[in-house]
Amino acid sequence: MPTTAKSRPEELTDTLDLLAAEEPSAALPPELPATLRHIVLTGFMGAGKSTVGRLVADRLGWVFLDLDDHLEARAGLSVPEIFARHGEAHFRRLESSALASALGRPRTVLALGGGTPEVLTNRLLLEQTPGTAVIFLDAPFPTLFDRCVLQEISRPVLADPAAAELRFAARHPLYRRLARHTIGTADATPEETALALIAALAQNRAS
């Protein structure tokens, strides 16, 4: 017979109450769709893809992978070095190959680069890889730009802010179309965004 609240021994009820009071979602990990293998975060630079991705991976006990880090490790060069020495087109080729490699790993939370969805083959790969849920972390351009200025990350694509804003406008519909869920991050902490993301995926259990 299943244990009910009435028939539970007192110590067990106390333990469950304690766990729930401490951290409800840690005590009861959300049920994600059984077929889910990759949670992929997309959005412009400064969206919080890596910060939120790490939090989500920690909560789920999955592996976190940042596509830029994966690409840099494979190339033996930093992103700015690749742009400076070989140009953006070469960077995009390395990025596509790193994406294919990253999607071979199960139970991974993957933070894309801001420009990854610009490339059609990358979008097709993300759409056609089974068990892949893409989540778009959205915020207005000025918010994203201000966040990037505060970070000590060298981003070649931000060197010309006006050109970056044009890229943002061109990419925005691509991010939206690719994503199963869009989460606004302008007024949310990374922790709040991570919880919203997990809740959104958990609602889709059957998918």
Q: Backbone phi, then psi, for 184, in 5-degree steps?
A: -75, 130
Report the alpha-carbon distance of residue 52 to residue 78 in Å, rounded. Answer: 22
Q: How far is the CB of 113 from ligand S3P (least distance, A)?
A: 3
User: Cβ of 43: how many Cβ atoms within 10 Å?
Assistant: 26
Nearer CB in complex with ligand S3P: 33/156: 156
- DSSP assignment string, 150-176: HS----GGGSSHHHHHHHHHHHHHHHH
Q: Residues in the site for ligand S3P, rule: CB under 6 A?
A: 45, 49, 68, 79, 113-115, 155-157
Q: How far is the CB of 168 from ligand S3P (least distance, A)?
A: 9
Q: How far is the CB of 196 from ligand S3P (least distance, A)?
A: 20
Report the alpha-carbon distance of residue 32 to residue 60 in Å, rounded. Answer: 9
Residue with tokens 């017979």: 1
Q: How far is the CB of 128 from ligand S3P (least distance, A)?
A: 22
User: Cβ of 77: how many Cβ atoms within 10 Å?
Assistant: 17
Nearer CB in complex with ligand S3P: 62/175: 175
User: Cβ of 56: how many Cβ atoms within 10 Å?
Assistant: 23
Nearer CB in complex with ligand S3P: 38/49: 49
Nearer CB in complex with ligand S3P: 18/73: 73
Nearer CB in complex with ligand S3P: 79/195: 79
Q: How far is the CB of 123 from ligand S3P (least distance, A)?
A: 14
